[in-house]
Amino acid sequence: MRQPGARIHAMSGETMGTSWSILLAAPEPPAGLARQVQGLLDGFAAELSHWDPASQLSAFNDAPAGRWLSVPSRFYHVVAAAIALARETGGAFDPTIGALVDLWGFGPGPAPATAPAPTAIEAAQARSGWQRLEMDALGSRLRQPGGLRLDLSGIAKGLAVDEVAALLDSSGHRAFLVEIGGELLGKGLRPDGLPWWVDIEAPPASALMPTRVALHGLSIATSGDYRRYFEEDGARYAHTLDPRSGRPSDNKLASVTVLHERCMMADALATAITVLGPEEGLAFADRMGVAALLIARAGPIHVELLSKAAAAMAE
């Protein structure tokens, strides 16, 4: 429903090594709302950021073997959701690969000059593995098995988007577009009566046109192998790691975009489908009823693949 006299008000800031922004449809500028959002995100990062050595996530990663740690309910909730997806995907998505992420230079440390040696990859894999993590739902506790390093970067930004949207909802706002690090959630209508339109970017050097979608009670997340990588001797290593091999995913997928009611799930599912690859990823999306747009490389060109749910949306 359109609000009489509403205008678009913009606000932005920084969080977890990236940026956040909000477009809000309201008659008057929202006094103090930007400070509330920044405070929420600062608290979020203090729990879940692997870039902050003082975060509660870092405290778990640095804990000695065998120790049980009580964690806040939000911390437990996001880890439980990530482990559930790890189980569903046979380990294609895995929140316990922080040692591998650091080894490849996609964590808070510097990027390596060369690709890691196979022995180093094997050692990091031995410290990882979602099956190693013990969880106590009643006590909201996690057990550090020794050397395991959680990395929630494949799901946490989406959860942060959901939490900011919940804050706006609780503040009485009904029309907005929230973005954190490229993950977005839209609700309600713009002042002109149109939904919040966003374009799904095409990969660089692609002849494909951007796909425009309306975020009306939906969120969107994209995982692309062109966004963060390092190169060595002509080889390019993308930041999305396949936990099963311990190496960057190399399955001809240039990007995966997922639409979902919850941005946390859109974020995680985009990563999981990227790792699974074109055929297995599309089959997984269809089995789970996920709306996904996959852009695959076919020689020198790019082709679009739509899951059944995404095709139904397009129609």
Q: What is the pLDDT of residues 277-295, one digit of tens each?
A: 999 999 999 999 999 999 9
Is 154 annotated as contributing to ligand binding? yes
Q: How far apart are CA 250 and CA 5, in angstroms?
A: 50
CA distances from 93 to 169, 206, 244 (A): 30, 27, 9
pLDDT in tens, 296-311: 988 778 889 999 999 9
Residue ranges and CATH numbers for the domains of the chain are 51-143 (1.10.3980.10), 195-315 (3.10.520.10)
Is 267 annotated as contributing to ligand binding? yes
CA-nearest of 22, 8, 29 to 194 is: 8
Whether residue 258 is predicted with pLDDT greater than 60 in this model: the reply is yes
Query: By the 8 A CB rule, do 173 and 24 touch?
Result: yes
Is 199 annotated as contributing to ligand binding? no
Whether residue 214 is predicted with pLDDT greater than 80 in this model: the reply is yes
